[in-house]
Amino acid sequence: MATKRLAKELGLLRQRSSSSSGPNKPLLSNQIFSYIIVIDFESTCWREKNSYGQEIIEFPAVLLNTSMGEVESEFHSYVQPQEHPTLSDFCTELTGITQAQVEAGLPLHICLSRFSRWLQTLQHQKGLVFPNGHRLTAQPPASHKLCTFLTWSDWDLGVCLQYECKRKQINKPSVLNSWIDLRTTYRLFYNRKPKGLNGALQDLGIQFEGREHSGLDDARNTAQLAARMMREGCVLRITRSLDRVSVSFIPNLFPTCLLLGPLGGFIHILKWSH
């Protein structure tokens, strides 16, 4: 019952109607974010258990226009692992990423710099602003488009990137400190636990396109899942923030925002005032 009440307060209870909810149905206009950037990292991995820290080896991001449900821009780079530079056979088999691709890739700190420049280009071209971005004014002009990040689970930004940057003493862009966890949102909206990204797509009759565990393909398919959920009435909201100072200084944009604690537990609901 507590989960159901929480979903109701967040506006995540599914709105059923007799109208079509297929891929051609227009998206609702009440989304908080005009754009969402979907990220899905691939990292070093091994078949056997060990204490190795995972390193990002593929860094993809796709920009989803929430009013159209279409991807408008993409960023993609392979990344050089430096703590364990040789990929395991299991990792290559799982992800399809080869040793030659990561050796030709970028060190993580350079990749993040390139990614930041891509974001700056989007800010200039499309007027993107981020909830925890330093450039966001108290009342964003109408020409500005609010944007945030979205991942399937908290692992990508809350675990993988967070701890690799700490280990390597890399400055991480502050905009990556808050995001939407689509897996949690899916569970609350449909009141069922998805069996992975592909399982969630199949439940909605969507065919996975590309190769599973390819970071770019996973990001594209996650974007398609998010678009379908918005067409069915789901309003996507930030579910996790690593910032000590919350995003609550954004006035009158949305009434509630669910924040998850470090271990994934719900810690509080923030309410915005005028």
Are 14 and 234 spatial neighbours (Cβ–Cβ below 8 Å)? Answer: yes
The Cα–Cα gap between 179 and 105 comes to 26
Round to whole Å and give the CA distance between 84 and 160.
15
Instruction: Report the distance separating Cα 177 and Cα 165, nearest Å.
Output: 12
Q: What angle do CA 239, 240, 243 make, to 5 degrees?
A: 140
Report the C-alpha gap between 69 and 226 in whole angstroms.
Answer: 8
Asked if 72 is an active-site residue, the reply is no
- What H or E segment, with its residue span, contains residue 216? helix 215-231
Please spell the DSSP secondary structure of 35-65, one letter per residue: EEEEE--EE---SS---PPP-EEEEEEEEEE
Closest listed residue to residue 196, CA positions, set 214, 180, 183? 183
DSSP at 221:
H
Q: How far apart are the C-alpha atoms of 182 and 222, rounded to whole Å?
A: 8
What are 153's two structure tokens? 């689970």
- The answer to whether 74 is a known catalytic residue is no
The catalytic position among 55, 58, 213, 232 is: 213
Q: Which of 9, 42, 55, 164 is catalytic?
A: 42
DSSP state of 167: H
Catalytic residues: 42, 213
